[in-house]
Amino acid sequence: MAIDVIINQKHLQIQLKQLETVWHTVVNGYNLSQAAELLHTSQSSLSKQISALENQLKADVFTRQGKRLTGLTPIGKALLPHIEAIFAEIRTIENISLDFNNAQEGTLIVATTHTQARYVLPTIVKTFREKFSKVNLVLSQADPESIAKMVIRGQADIGIATESLLNNNVLRCHRYYDWWHVVIVPKEHELAKFAGVVDGVDLPTLASYPIVTYHGGFTGRSAIDKTFGKAGFNPDVVLSALDSDVISTYVSAGLGVGIIAEMAYEPKHYPDLVAIPITHFGRFTSWIAVRDDSDIRKFGQEFIKLCQNQFDKK
């Protein structure tokens, strides 16, 4: 992204290159060396851009420990949303140009959780690739909070997750689908008789068994903990994992009773397990998010439409 525009005001003469430097420095965790590599320039050049901006503002944008940047100052934190909005507009202009010249080629970056990528999106990706064979589709897996930040900062075009996407006013969210948890146990387990019975296992009974479920912050784990705690139970979580396959594997090995998202239950892959539907932990909604102040490529909009139609046809 070549930027050499200068914004002239009565007291300021700010180059967009300076703002770009701030933006990339933040996105890359305040690592100037990494930001310089991505911008194909030198670390000293970025330092000069930052110094020039701070001289114009007559204030430090970054906090420092020696020569190392460690974070944003209060004015830096106040500036960042506006800088992100500026580059969102620039991306929109760029996307309009790219669509006008060749709407069938480009790159689409979708940030999502492992659960969505592994269990929900494969049919969407297959259909999308058939329709847009020349588009480079990148699935970037992260935790829900990081997914929101990636979309806000322009590191991803689309974000798909359950938690965190609704907790800000920068993203425009589209409902994807609703889901619940299920309890999984081996077929010979004493709870297996409740297979297919909604809420066949109550909380006191469930809390009496060792639990295998998700790591904190993923796939409704916070709701699981909150529900047990509110009911006065402190179950023994013997293993937590990011991956439903890992949870299912250890439940098969007899480590404990599993709690996973319903879409992650795969009887074909784990024929020795059965599932018990439960609503104790509440209903969850997966959302599709884009920045509210910018437009993505047309093939990105088609990707969202495919997702929205995925469950409407069922």
Q: Residue 52: give its domain's CATH number.
A: 1.10.10.10
292 and 173 in a single domain? The answer is yes
Q: Which of 85, 119, 148 is the last residue of a domain?
A: 85
Closest CA to 301 of 96, 82, 78: 96
277 and 193 in a single domain? The answer is yes
124 and 152 in a single domain? The answer is yes
192 and 273 in a single domain? The answer is yes
In a domain, 296, yes or no: yes
Which residues on neighbouring strands pair with residue 275, listed in sequence order?
184
Residue range(s) defining the domain that contains residue 30: 6-85
In a domain, 55, yes or no: yes
111 and 242 in a single domain? The answer is no
In a domain, 95, yes or no: no
Q: Cα–Cα distances in Å, from 237 out to 27, 182, 193, 280, 302?
A: 35, 16, 23, 17, 41
For residue 297, the tally of other CB atoms under 10 A from its CB is 22
Q: What is the pLDDT along the chain (314 residues), one digit of tens a residue?
A: 444 555 555 566 778 889 989 988 998 889 999 889 888 899 999 999 999 999 988 999 999 998 899 999 999 999 999 998 888 888 889 889 999 999 999 999 999 998 999 999 999 999 999 999 999 999 999 988 899 989 988 889 999 998 678 877 789 999 999 999 999 999 999 999 999 999 999 999 999 999 999 998 788 999 999 999 999 999 999 999 988 999 999 999 999 999 999 999 999 999 999 999 999 999 999 999 999 888 899 999 999 999 999 987 54
Residue 217 buriedness (CB in 10 A; 0-12 / 13-18 / 19+): middle
In a domain, 139, yes or no: yes
Beta strands in the chain (DSSP E): 6-8, 13-15, 62-65, 68-72, 106-112, 135-141, 158-161, 171-179, 181-186, 211-214, 237-241, 257-261, 273-278, 284-291
Give the whole-angstrom CA distance, residue 42 versus residue 44.
Answer: 5
Q: State the Cα torsion 141-145-151-157 to the nearest 10°.
A: 30
Q: Which of 85, 119, 144 is the last residue of a domain?
A: 85
What predicted TM-score, i.e. pTM, was given to this entire model?
A: 0.80
256 and 205 in a single domain? The answer is yes
Region for 313 from its dihedrals, namely left if φ exceeds 0, alpha if ψ lies in -120 to 50, beta otherwise: alpha
Phi, psi of 46 (to 5 degrees): -65, -40
171 and 229 in a single domain? The answer is no
Q: Which of 30, 51, 85 is the last residue of a domain?
A: 85
CATH code for the domain in which residue 170 is found: 3.40.190.10
253 and 292 in a single domain? The answer is no
Q: How far does Cα 30 stand from its chain's mean position?
A: 21
Helices (H) and strands (E) in the chain, counts: 11, 14
204 and 234 in a single domain? The answer is yes
73 and 196 in a single domain? The answer is no
165 and 124 in a single domain? The answer is yes
In a domain, 92, yes or no: no
185 and 173 in a single domain? The answer is no
Give the whole-angstrom CA distance, residue 214 versus residue 103.
Answer: 40
In a domain, 275, yes or no: yes
In a domain, 120, yes or no: yes
Give the whole-angstrom CA distance, residue 162 versus residue 240.
Answer: 18
| pLDDT of the residue at 1 | 47
Give the whole-angstrom CA distance, residue 157 versus residue 107.
Answer: 9
| pLDDT of the residue at 184 | 98
In a domain, 170, yes or no: yes
Count of structural domains within the chain: 3
Which residues on neighbouring strands pair with residue 258, listed in sequence order?
184, 212
